[in-house]
Amino acid sequence: MDSSIDSKAGPALTVKTRRVPAEEGLWVFIIGDMMIFALFFGVYTYYRGQEIDVFSDSQKDLNKLYGLVNMILLLTSSWFIALALKAVRSERGSLARGLIALGMGCGIGFAVLKVVEYSEKADQGISLITDTFFTFYFMLTGIHFFHVFIGLGVLTFLFLKARNTSFSESDIRTFEGGAVYWHMVDLLWVILFPLLYLLG
């Protein structure tokens, strides 16, 4: 018998309450979106294997530094939004607003850099029909860019909603939903960046 256990006090039990953050319906959308992107990643990698020389040569025309800066911007944006959710939960609306604004700033930075990158490609005469690599590049980054735009709209809504000084359970679920969506936008870029810019 183990004498180190205090039989009177009994072992300390921590009951972890598992829950679903945000509205359940949102997760159906998130899961669907992530399944579609999983398919995109697989199809892209397959076509890369079929035209390895074309993909390797065209990949060299991308500015990896833009991809890296955008990666850091989205990770930082996600961090601000996660902090903002924590602020909302502790009823600190003005702090949440500031953090959401910082998160939006990083998101806008991402969008501006993407536009600069697209413009540079256009100046070089590179477009969607240049070759298979660039068809995938513009399609995948374009679809992701669309998600960023939607996300910035969602963050704007949360920014306005954070004017309140107290938040109901339903309000918090709304903030959780917006944050979950924005983190998904971030994680999709976490895969797209190495896949498009770095794959050797």
Partner 1 sequence: MKDLILSKLTSIWLVLGALTMATWILTESNQSGTLQTIEFVTMAIMAFAFIKVRIIILHFMEVADAVLPLRIFFEAWVVLVYLVIVVIYLFGGGI
Q: Which residues bind partner 1 (CB under 8 A)?
A: 16-21, 27, 31, 34, 38, 41-42, 45-46, 48-50, 52, 64, 68, 71-72, 75-76, 78-79, 81-83, 86-87, 95, 99, 176, 179-180, 183-184, 186-187, 190-191, 193-195, 198-200
Shortest separation between residue 19's beta carbon and partner 1, angstroms: 7
**Which is it for the CA torsion 68, 76, 139, 146, positive or negative?**
negative
Shortest separation between residue 158's beta carbon and partner 1, angstroms: 15
| Pick from 198, 161, 197, 196: nearest CA to 47 | 196
Instruction: Calculate the CA 128 to chain-centre distance.
Output: 24
Nearer to partner 1, 111 or 191 (CB): 191
| Pick from 114, 121, 150: nearest CA to 135 | 121
Nearer to partner 1, 8 or 18 (CB): 18
d(CA 184, CA 84): 16
Nearer to partner 1, 48 or 161 (CB): 48
Nearer to partner 1, 38 or 112 (CB): 38
Shortest separation between residue 174's beta carbon and partner 1, angstroms: 15
The token pair at 186 is: 């971030």
| Pick from 83, 67, 96, 71: nearest CA to 198 | 67
Nearer to partner 1, 41 or 145 (CB): 41
Shortest separation between residue 5's beta carbon and partner 1, angstroms: 28
d(CA 29, CA 192): 20
